[in-house]
Structure 1
Amino acid sequence: MNDLIPVVNKLQDVFNTIGSETVDLPQIIVVGSQSSGKSSVLENLVQRDFLPRGSGIVTRRPLVLQLVNVQDSEDSKAVEYGEFLHMSDRKFTDFSEIRKEIEAETARVAGQNKGISRSPIHLKIYSPKVLNLTLVDLPGLTKIPIGDQPTDIEKQTRILVLDYITKPNSIILAVSPANVDLVNSESLKLAKQVDPEGKRTIGVLTKLDLMDAGTNALDVLTGRVIPLKLGFIGVVNRSQQDIIGNKPMSEALKAESEFFKRHSAYRSIASRCGTPFLAKILNHILMNHIRERLPDMKARINALISQTTQELLSYGDPALDEKTNKGALVLKLITKFSNDFVASIDGTALDISTKELCGGARIYYIFNNIFGTALQSISPCGNLSVQDIRTAIRNSTGPRPSLFVPEIAFDLLVKPQILLLEQPSLRCVELVHEELTKICHSCGNQELGRYPRLHAKLIEVVSDLLRERLSPTSLYVESLISIQRAYVNTNHPDFIGGAGAMSDLVKKSEKKRKEFEKLNRHRQANLGSNTTHISTLSGPSISSKDDIPDGSPLSDKESSGSKDIGLQNGIGNNSSWAQRESFLTYFFGSGNKSDRTVLPDQPLPSRNGTSVKTGIDMGELEKKLDNGAIIDDAVQLTDHEEMEIQLIRSLITSYFNLVRKTIQDLVPKAIMHLLVNYSRESVQNRLVSELYKEELFVDLLQEDENLASKRQNCKTMLDVYRKAFDIMNEAM
């Protein structure tokens, strides 16, 4: 068992080389408030003055103190000395130099002010006067900042202490002065917080000689006040006067022993008090604790070896060593990248996401949802007003009136509508190109991530390939639209044609006529027997407009309504047109309205034979003609024009729909052939031809510096864990 503490010290040394805290080593953590006598207890254990002293916080960094017992040999006496981890090549035989080095090293890391640091100082002391122990001296607990201390010094210190004593393998050495009520002991409060049952806490009472006369700490030392499984031990340190007078440590220990033997309260427990007994108890407790925890520590280190080995394998071997076939490695990585690219498009990748669309599924979504919806949202005649259509019809007939819907007007109007399909089609090409670029950037496994230059070159070459295919694909899609505009095939079997359009208009007009007659009969029935009826089949004999009874089918509102229905459906019903003709014949005289041209400012015959001016100035119309406004919006459409416009709209809608269906089918096919399939089929050859060159291998296989550093650190950690495992195997 005496070899167990040296085993832990060896483990401590091994882990100190990497600064790792992954393994919780058994050690004694010394906790106490400022001026509680914590430093004096440690010096008594070592029997040397070696710790800095002064006001405020003196210990500002954790001090990991390993006490190593060395025996005198037959030929010579053992030499006492100390070694620092940060100065392992030097032995300090003068313990005052050790104190100075602790102060200098503290200031180097923690600064000259009174702030603290988490970085520990590692010190080994070899002496025949010590027992094997591993202790950690922590900064003293404080309440109020003093001098240059940070305002949150209390919080910093508590967090640091808790980090150490929370570890289950630590033994808590709670130092408390006997001349202060234990209820106020900060060290015991923190110990109880992390060890509520007191299983790994040992209490130390200092300054027993400074208690008020007539008082003692016997109840505390015997465990009747605060129960601790490891108990309380009382010690008497040197006084401040003894320290100033450089009282020898041997005399101080002798005086301590005499104090307990002579004190009436402590005489019965004198053998269980004092620094020598404390050292023995700590040595015994630590050895037993190590013996209990060693199997768990061994299992923990074994698990760390396995984890670190797997991590090291994930980093792979360095690519630029002499054994590596660089050409084969480059070809392997190129093939893996191109296979990942193709698999992402085809949907055969192993790591397919279940949270969102990716790869080829996004291309399908672009074709069917985005592109399809964009085409369907285009209205065949949405941007064509009545005046646009009427102007096109008139311009296509020249000075002659049209007997039928002019084919030139239809051709003139439908081509710009077909051009509306071009922009969404080109945008579809761009979206697919962008998606392929995203797929390219997402390709590559962890092994390829080791070589950032090769990865960047692979992405660059594939991006160039996609960029090359973008232009011909876009040009071909543009040509698809141009082809449709180049020849308007009115003989297409799916095209409605003039006869079909006229038939549809007649059917719609007939339907509207029946609806109007039904509505008219219903209204006449509601008017009652006193209402004068005007026949819907022949014109009435009316002397003036005022003679038209209110509510008759030819009142202003109803006449207007009848005309609206006619406008919407191309041809009005026969009854309404008969009413209009009889009224127009009465107002303008005999003749067909549609066969007569009336100038806007021409006097119209009134009912009594006098001329009636229209109120429109011919000069104003000439100005509009000069400005290019050939057709006045205020001029009403003739019946023939209404029919022509409705026919033109019907024809445009029919032809646009069949062109849209064709484009919706051809554009995705063109993109797949010219861009997607071409890229996936040629990506491997392009990558090999561009990158498989011997002069590029060294540059392409330059590893990521961070990854190389991680691999080296991982190797170091693995060596440390294996060495620690061997040490524990020897101990067990």
Structure 2
Amino acid sequence: MDKYVDDFGRLQSIVESIGTDLPLPLIVVVGAQSDGKSSVLESIVGHPFLPRGEGCVTRTPIKLFMRTTHAENGCDPVEHISVSYDTGMLGGVAREALVTHTKRLLDFRRIAQAIQEATRELTGGRTGIVENLVTVNIQSPRVPNLTLIDLPGMIENVNEGMPEKMRDDVNRMIRHYINIPTAIILAVHQAGSDVIMSKALRAAKQVDPEGKRTFCVLTKLDLVDRQVDITNRLNGEEVGRILKVRRVFGIINQTGHTNHTNGFMSDFEESGSTQQEPRNAAELEDAFFQQRPSYRKISKLHGRDKLVSHLTSVFRAHIRDHLPELRRELDVSVAACNEELAALREDDLPADDGPNHENWQFPLLVKFINKFSKALVKSIDGNVDQGSDKLTGGVCLERLFNNTYWRNLDRIVPLSNVSAQQVWTQIQNCGGIEPQMFLSTDAFKFLVKNEILRMKDESVNCVYLAHKEMLIIRDRAAAMSIKDIRRRYPALHEKITDTVAEFLGKRQAKAREMVEDSVLMHLDYINVKHKEFRAARTRAEVLQLPGKHEAVQIVPGGNNDEEEEEEEDEEDDVDDNEGKYSSNCDPEDKNQMGWKEKLDCQKIMFLVTEYFDIIRDIVRDSVPKIIVRFLVNEVKDKIESILMTTLQPSEVYEPLLKESEDTAAIRRELTARRDQLNEAIAIVKELAIEPLGN
């Protein structure tokens, strides 16, 4: 076998076996229905082997892989025929696995039946087309060294029984193949039809406007009326008006070798030629050109043998021209394999024994823990590129403490749910049986404690939000540092993240407890001698109701609009005796409040508001510090030691570092793929320096 072709065949086999889309050179046969594509292919093979019938018979792309065999060591040449196809995608429906079906045949007569069976299986019995490739592998001393792709014929009108989109599907498939830059286009057209009507040439012109990789084959020359001279078509002049193709070939219809109309065989007999009647396709074609005077002078440029010889030569040169591009694509594929293997951290394993080495597990565990811990700390501290266009890491905690939490505390308006009437009622209740001469300290403490208590829920919620943010930081750190072990050691990845989550949960409980205490301790001791509060008490001394000595009224933040809207004239006319308590102690009786009682209420509400603001500033400052101290910094400072303590026992980490069979299978598959790609690169190197041969 020709070594150049043999090496390229090995390259094709490797590329097909690894399922890559490398742009290997190929010859694509396109043409309209009934233009003679089957005749061209059968002429090249030398045998009728394609299915016949009405309408669209070819409904899958057919790859014709031909190799010439020779006699070796005194033995006859080997003849091998097979038809194969993949069922990874059937009728547009994906299957779970790619299954290759191969059927070995004993002779050419069974190829058509095998193609029909493969078509029925691939189309699922439907009348549409599918993209699955049917490969016809022919190794014989009677076939040339060529690889061709036969595509469904172009459809002008969709006939009854065909899917409406079939024409578009056929055109889409043809465009896909002829768009491949390494494809040689064999545009087939019936010789007796005006070439301006050629669908194949028009399709080729769209993707190859200069015709550098397009050849035209005019078929069925013997069916053209002998009175019609198509020499201009055969020499390329007429074809060139549409597309200046590289060359035009003319061949006759050799189906059956006997069905020849228009009388060229009878002409042969009537001429009285002493030559023997043609016995095979080559002699038949020779006889045709000799019996047509207009074709006789160009006979040496046309015919099956000239077409095969020229295509073989051009295809070899085409392979050589595209080897540099193919080498680049192979290098890219090898780099991609290496990258995927690196993602499995193949370099973490000892070079000698791999994952079975007895000393590799603990150092690998320490490495993973160290990487994760550093990434977690850096994410919190902010001195790392988060690789995101969103705020992540420690800055989110800062926004929580100084924006979200502050806003939530500011939304708490002291005494917003307490009216002046309720305050007055509380003052009276705290006084008991004895009348009060001064402002009630007990009433002040009762009211201010209730308001301070409102900050506890918001403060505890801040702990929950910080805990949630720490979990996000954990996941982010894991994605940045140990994401590679998720596929290789999923149990270890889960154990690390679960251990961090468990530790965060414990620290959250402690931080919540401390935050609650930091708020509740302000209920245990009301410091009325606080420096800022003493100033508020001084301001409260001059607090007066409107109209009384024209003093300035300081309005607290409470909700006392209802009482302020009462008419002041009614209040001024109240007699001193009417201000005394009656025997009826109804808290809803607003007539019990005189101007002094209302002033006391205003002062109490003012002081409660002032004291609440003081405590709110203290709580707002202390809660973030508590969360950072008992949650954030505890995780930063201790997570590495916690992980080591939890995972260090061998009975814990050894099962976690047991590589899954799926990961091992992926590594073996990637390694085998890389080896095949490297083998393909070696073949490309050989092809680059080998002579093209005959």
Equivalent residue number for residue 365 of structure 2: 330
Could you tell me which residue of structure 2 aligns to residue 488 of structure 1? 526
Q: What is the 5 A alignment of 1:428-439?
A: 428-439=462-473
Aligned length in residues: 640
Q: Please give the alpha-carbon distance, in whole angstroms, between the structure 2 residues aligned to 1:599 and 1:374.
A: 42
Matches within 5 A, 1:94-243: 94-146=107-159, 149-212=162-225, 214-227=227-240, 228-239=244-255, 242=258
Q: Pick from 373, 392, 408 the counterpart of residue 358 of structure 1.
A: 392
- 1:613-632 correspondence to structure 2 within 5 Å: 629-632=586-589
- State the one-letter code of the partner of 2:81: G
Q: How far, CA to CA, are the matches of 2:531 and 2:581 in structure 1?
A: 44
CA RMSD of aligned residues (A): 3.5
- 2:14 aligned residue: 14
Which sits farther off after the overlay, 460-469 or 701-710? 701-710
Letter in 2 for 1:231: R
Indicate whether 1:664 and 2:680 are aligned: no
CA deviation map 1:381-431 (0-9, x unaligned): 322211011111222223444332121221221111111111111101111
Q: CA 1:137/1:225 → structure 2, altered by over 3 Å: closer, same or farther?
A: same
Separation of aligned partners in 2, 1:451 and 1:249:
73
- Contact 2:186 2:215 (8 Å CA) reproduced: yes
Q: How many angstroms apart in 1 are the aligned matches of 2:421 and 2:70?
A: 116
Rounded to whole Å, the distance in 2 between the matches of 1:661 and 1:514 is 27
**Residue 450 of structure 2: SS of its match in structure 1?**
helix
Cα deviation per residue 1:640-692 (whole Å; 9 max; x = unaligned)?
Answer: 11221221122111211111111112211211122222222222222222222
C-alpha spacing 1:249/1:478, structure 2 compared with 1 (3 Å): farther
Structure 2 partner of 1:65: 64
Contact between 2:189 and 2:219, CA under 8 Å: does it hold in 1?
yes
- Seen in structure 2, the aligned counterparts of structure 1 residues 357 and 306 have a Cα distance that, compared at 3 Å, is closer
Q: Please give the alpha-carbon distance, in whole angstroms, between the structure 2 residues aligned to 1:353 and 1:78.
A: 63
CA contact (8 A) 1:260 1:273 kept: no
SS of equivalent to 1:123: strand
The one-letter code matched in structure 2 to 1:670 is I
Instruction: Give the alignment of 1:372-387 within 5 angstroms.
Output: 372-387=406-421
Matched with 1:31 is 30
CA contact (8 A) 1:346 1:360 kept: yes
Partner residue, 1:264: 293
Unmatched segments (≥5 aa) in structure 1: 516-563, 585-591, 601-620
The aligned residue for residue 97 of structure 2 is: none
Report the 3-state secondary structure (helix = DSSP H, G, I; strand = E; otherwise coil) of the residue aligned with 1:141: coil
Select 1:447's aligned residue among 484, 488, 492. Answer: 484
**Which is further off, 94-103 or 429-438?**
94-103
Is the contact made by 1:32 and 1:186 (CA closer than 8 Å) also made in structure 2? yes
Q: Secondary structure at the match of 1:495?
A: helix
CA contact (8 A) 2:232 2:238 kept: yes
- Structural mapping, 1:492-503, within 5 Å: 492-496=530-534, 499-503=537-541
Determine helix, strand or coil for the equivalent of 1:321. Answer: helix
Alignment TM-score, normalising by the size of structure 1: 0.80
Partners of 1:182 and 1:412 lie apart in 2 by 104
Q: Is the 8 A contact 1:47 1:249 kept in 2?
A: no
Question: 1:496 touches 1:651 (CA, 8 Å); kept in 2?
Answer: no
Alignment of 1:294-309 (within 5 A): 294-309=323-338
Say if 2:310 is the partner of 1:281: yes
Paired letter, 1:206 = T
Cα–Cα, structure 1 residues 255 and 654, in superposed 2: closer, same or farther, change >3 Å?
A: same
Task: State the secondary structure of the residue aligned to 1:382.
Answer: coil
User: Does the Cα contact within 8 Å between 1:67 and 1:133 map onto a contact in 2?
Assistant: yes
Match of 1:419 among 425, 429, 453: 453
Given the superposition, is the C-alpha separation of residues 686 and 513 from structure 1 closer, same or farther in structure 2, using an over 3 Å criterion? closer
> CA, structure 1 residues 127+423, in 2 after alignment: closer, same or farther (shift >3 Å)?
same
Q: Could you tell me which residue of structure 2 aligns to residue 343 of structure 1? A: 378
> Secondary structure of 2:529's match?
coil
- Corresponding position of 2:423: 389
| 2:576 equivalent among 576, 594, 602 | 594
Deviation at residue 511 of structure 1 after TM alignment: 10
Q: CA deviation at 1:481?
A: 2.1
Q: Under a length normalisation based on structure 2, what TM-score does the superposition of the two structures give?
A: 0.84
Contact 1:233–1:272 under 8 Å retained in 2 = yes
Structure 2: where are the runs of 5+ without partners? 86-99, 266-276, 554-559, 690-694
Q: Contact 1:308–1:718 at 8 Å: present in 2 too?
A: yes
Change (3 A) 1:409 1:199: same
- Contact kept, 8 Å, 1:208 with 1:216, in 2: the verdict is no
| TM-aligned CA distance change 1:91 to 1:335, over 3 Å | same
Counterpart contact for 2:408–2:458, Cα < 8 Å: yes
Deviation at 1:278, TM superposition (A): 0.9
Q: Write the mapping of 1:319-718 to structure 2, written as runs, cut at 5 A.
A: 321-323=355-357, 325-348=360-383, 350-353=384-387, 355-444=389-478, 445=481, 446-449=483-486, 450-496=488-534, 499-505=537-543, 584=573, 593-597=575-579, 629-633=586-590, 635=591, 637-703=593-659, 708-718=664-674
Superposed displacement of residue 253, structure 1: 3.1
Preserved contact between residue 344 and residue 485 of structure 2 (Cα < 8 Å):
no
The AA in structure 2 aligned to 1:290 is: I
Larger radius of gyration: 1
Change (3 A) 1:130 1:288: same
Contact 2:579 2:592 (8 Å CA) reproduced: no
Q: Is the 8 A contact 1:498 1:647 kept in 2?
A: no
Distance in 1 (alpha carbons) for counterparts of 2:393 and 2:636: 12
**Using a 3 Å threshold, how does the CA distance of structure 1 residues 363 and 351 change in structure 2: closer, same or farther?**
same
Q: For 2:649 and 2:218, locate their aligned partners in 1 and report how far apart those are by CA, in whole Å.
A: 77
Structure 2 counterpart of 1:53:
52
Answer whether contact 1:28 1:170 (CA < 8 A) is retained: yes
How far, CA to CA, are the matches of 2:15 and 2:152 in structure 1? 23
Hey, what's the Cα distance between the residues in 1 that align with 2:110 and 2:320? Answer: 36
Deviation at 1:243, TM superposition (A): 6.7
Give the secondary structure class of the aligned counterpart of 2:35: coil
Specify the code of the residue in structure 1 equivalent to 2:636.
Answer: R
Per-residue deviation, 1:294: 2.1
Preserved contact between residue 571 and residue 594 of structure 2 (Cα < 8 Å):
no
- Distance in 1, Cα, partners of 2:229 & 2:18: 48
Taking a change above 3 Å as real, the CA distance of residues 400 and 39 of structure 1, as seen in their structure-2 partners, is: same
Give the letter for the 2:454 counterpart: L
* Matched-pair contact (CA < 8 Å) for 2:234–2:250: yes
CA distance in 1: counterparts of 2:117 and 2:579, whole angstroms: 114
Q: 1:580 to 1:188 in 2, by over 3 A?
A: closer
Once residues 604 and 318 of structure 2 are traced to their aligned partners in structure 1, the CA distance between those partners, rounded to angstroms, is 99
Provide the secondary structure at the position in 2 that maps to 1:205. strand
Deviation at 1:226, TM superposition (A): 2.4
* Equivalent AA in structure 2 for residue 135 of structure 1: L
Contact 2:542–2:552, Cα closer than 8 Å, also in 1: no
Shift of 1:497: 6.1
Shift of 1:233: 0.9
The Cα shift of 1:232 comes to 1.3
Q: Please, which moves more after superposition, 689-698 or 483-492?
A: 689-698
CA distance in 2, matches of 1:684, 1:327: 15
